[in-house]
Chains A and B, each alone.
Chain A
């Protein structure tokens, strides 16, 4: 199981939980499993999210491997100028 830390604004979509546990080996699986566990997370994921794996920000990739025990944070999708 991977512990996924959400940003606090998402608590209203997960019944107040800011940490969600899912089974996932890649970033894509992780997003899919998040929605399976909490269907209301579909909206923020569709709006664009990035995933930080042990502090490394994966902007959009769905195939990045998630090592066991990694620190995982969901972040709003980054934009640049």
Chain B
């Protein structure tokens, strides 16, 4: 779509109405994953490996099966490695199955090895103790650098793909290298080169709602699944494959979802509930405990990174090089390639080279976490930029502006950027009162830029009009942050009827075509685009009916402010015909009026942000306080600004947790040491200041209203911005996250 076709004057878009699900959510009425039950329902529980790496010699389920409260016990043998309709599970299907229920080996502390269904949740938990598992404990590795070392235990032979150079350890399963120019020549031109290494620990998405589902599967191969998920068509496809039934025979309904952030883009307990249900012939509900969530569901990758950047005295970057090693658990999938491609993306670089590794270790299978791979890379790169600015005495915003990518820049990952909004966010940062505000002794300021690609993905939307002129919109992307409000605003804008007259529903898999997961910041972009196009489709039908009533050609009718109107003086002299006048008798004038759109939109539009943060470090205790925080990010077009701000604020605060508190801590035994919220500490209200936001709008040419996704970019800059603030406050460069008080004290001590 050309830029000048795009709508820029809006009646509904950009306003801040109440969300349609608000009442249900403030009264306790909204149904989340664990909030359902069914007649005859059983409760499932899962037995998990206490070992980081062990061969499963034998599982004896006889005692559990004999217990009167137990109705089914399952192990890997109850899943389908070779389902009838998808012969031979391979690739990611096999990986997901192996993660859902261990096969020959338990690959991490918390890996599922068996499950039971019993008449109560307590009985199910008790019955797990009756299952006897004999393990042969194997050597394990949990650290990324150690997992790449020649003597590291091998997690799985043959998991590496085409990309891995010969001679690497079998735990290295993917290699990425890209860039352009001649970095050696570039470094030769530099007045100053800073080379440094950085480490980040794995963090968890930390959604407050644990995974929960209820499954029902009969011997006839037909099933029902209710679950909390970011993508119920994905759940349908994977569960059907894992239990060996046809995809269409499993109907999946998405519950209200209590947070996801990427962690609910796959299945864990859902195939288990279905397999238990098939064996017990009753519905089975499975709800994870918090400890299970930490031990067995998707943390992000941990990372070890080496960065080298050369700069001239005037701040021009002459060359940049990064090596990013990401550990993603006992399966391929750590986003080393994404880290490599995103880390230098904000800058206009003549010479750049980036290398990414995907490394396996004895930890849970990493899952996507908000701009997966990007935050850690930004932490390393933006820390080195900060150090260069400090050593050359240059202003960090000016240096970023001097090197910033803009329309026409050759991106570090190859192509030439179309219209992007990085410079606008930097200019807004420079002009923001926060950037000029004085700092007190002991305080430091940090800034960072961040980049994320954003995504489109398969999308289906149906819009049906009612006789009274109201509209129902069926979308297939679970609402994780207020998207129903955004969809209703976009539909209202196109149809010209009030926001309140539109009801948006998250359709189940049986009532709408396929939809990709709510991920990649794609919902407002892709489901929004599809909603707009479905509404336009319905308007075509409405115009046809009006034309027939007026007896004029359909191309002589146009749609304006919720009414059919003649397209010009030659079309005839008719009063505007409101939508409700057309729908009132639609059954008799041609039948129900609906609009549909199905496609894979391919114009998501990349996104940039700049964050400013002030931190104060207590030199006695090493404790860091965030004093002030400002998020500036390009939204393309903010459909419902409240929820755009909410995404900015939420991303920043998750970043604060990652930077200061949150980490997976493994013991020498390979067991996770901090699997509850008391020990894995996410930010609480008293840790934080207000989070200021600035919404920059540089419209995305790939969306009818200019939308760019906003969900993920907001977590990219905080790690680096906070590390820079803390380093400037403490007077010592912090190279490892999280910057816990002991690490800060140790750094201060090392610095003398």
Contacts and interface: CB of A to CB of B under 8 A. Distances in A.
Judged by CB atoms under 8 Å, the answer to whether A and B touch is yes
B751 to A, nearest CB: 36
A67 interface: no
A8 B262 contact: no
Interface in B380-424: 411, 413-418
Contacts of B337: 76
A35 to B, nearest CB: 13
Given A44-B163, A61-B600, A81-B262, A71 B416 contact: yes
A64 interface: yes
B368 A79 contact: yes
Contacts of B370: 81
A8 B265 contact: no
B712 A81 contact: yes
B176 A59 contact: no
Interface in A1-15: 5, 7-9, 12-13
Contacts of B520: 78-81
Interface in B675-700: none
Interface in B572-624: 600, 602-604, 606
Contacts of B643: none
B265 A52 contact: no
A19 to B, nearest CB: 11
A59 B454 CA distance: 10
**Which one of B165, B338, B353, B417 has the highest number of Cβ atoms from chain A below 10 Å of its Cβ?**
B338
B415 A71 contact: yes
A78 B176 CA distance: 13
A59 B521 CA distance: 14
Nearest to B166: A12
Contacts of A60: 600
A57 B337 CA distance: 16
Interface string B252-266: 000000000110010
A81 B414 contact: no
A80 B372 contact: yes
Contact of B455 (A47, A56, A78): A78
A67 B519 CA distance: 30
A78 to B, nearest CB: 5
Given A80-B368, A81-B369, A81-B520, A8 B416 contact: no
Contacts of A58: 602
A21 interface: no
Given A7-B413, A7-B414, A79 B338 contact: yes
A67 to B, nearest CB: 14
**Which one of B162, B165, B335, B521 has the highest number of Cβ atoms from chain A below 10 Å of its Cβ?**
B162
A40 to B, nearest CB: 8
Chain B at the A interface: mostly helix, strand, loop or mixed? loop
B453 A61 contact: no
Nearest to B455: A80
Given A7-B176, A75-B341, A64 B415 contact: no
Interface size class, chain A = 20 to 34
B246 interface: no
Contact of B178 (A9, A57, A59): A9
B261 A43 contact: no
Given A7-B178, A75-B413, A80 B519 contact: yes
A12 B604 CA distance: 31
Nearest to A72: B415
A56 B603 contact: yes
A23 interface: no
A66 to B, nearest CB: 13
A74 B337 CA distance: 13
B417 A47 contact: no
Contacts of A54: 415-416, 418
Interface string A30-61: 00000000001001100100001011111111
B261 A81 contact: yes
Given A78-B453, A79-B335, A79-B338, A56 B262 contact: no
Given A9-B176, A76-B337, A80-B712, A52 B415 contact: yes
B377 interface: no
Contacts of B454: 80
B519 A56 contact: no
B524 to A, nearest CB: 13
A41 to B, nearest CB: 9
B175 interface: yes
A26 to B, nearest CB: 12
Contacts of B180: 8
A49 to B, nearest CB: 11
A64 B368 CA distance: 27
B456 interface: yes
Interface in B416-461: 416-418, 453-457
A8 B415 contact: no
A18 to B, nearest CB: 9
Contacts of A73: 413-415
B644 interface: no
Given A7-B413, A44-B163, A64 B418 contact: no
B134 interface: no
Interface string B196-220: 0000000000000000000000000
A27 to B, nearest CB: 9
A55 B712 contact: no
Contacts of A64: 602
17 contacts: A7-B176, A8-B179, A43-B161, A44-B162, A54-B416, A55-B415, A57-B415, A57-B602, A57-B604, A57-B606, A59-B455, A59-B600, A61-B602, A71-B416, A75-B341, A80-B455, A81-B370
Interface of A: 5, 7-9, 12-13, 40, 43-44, 47, 52, 54-61, 64, 71, 73-76, 78-81
Interface of B: 161-163, 165, 175-180, 261-262, 265, 335, 337-338, 341, 353, 367-372, 411, 413-418, 453-457, 519-522, 600, 602-604, 606, 702, 712
Given A55-B411, A81-B520, 8 more contacts: A7-B176, A7-B177, A7-B414, A8-B177, A76-B176, A76-B338, A79-B520, A81-B370
Please provide the 7 A-B residue pairs with the shortest distance between their CB atoms, ordered closest to farther: A80-B520, A81-B262, A43-B162, A81-B368, A52-B415, A9-B177, A73-B414
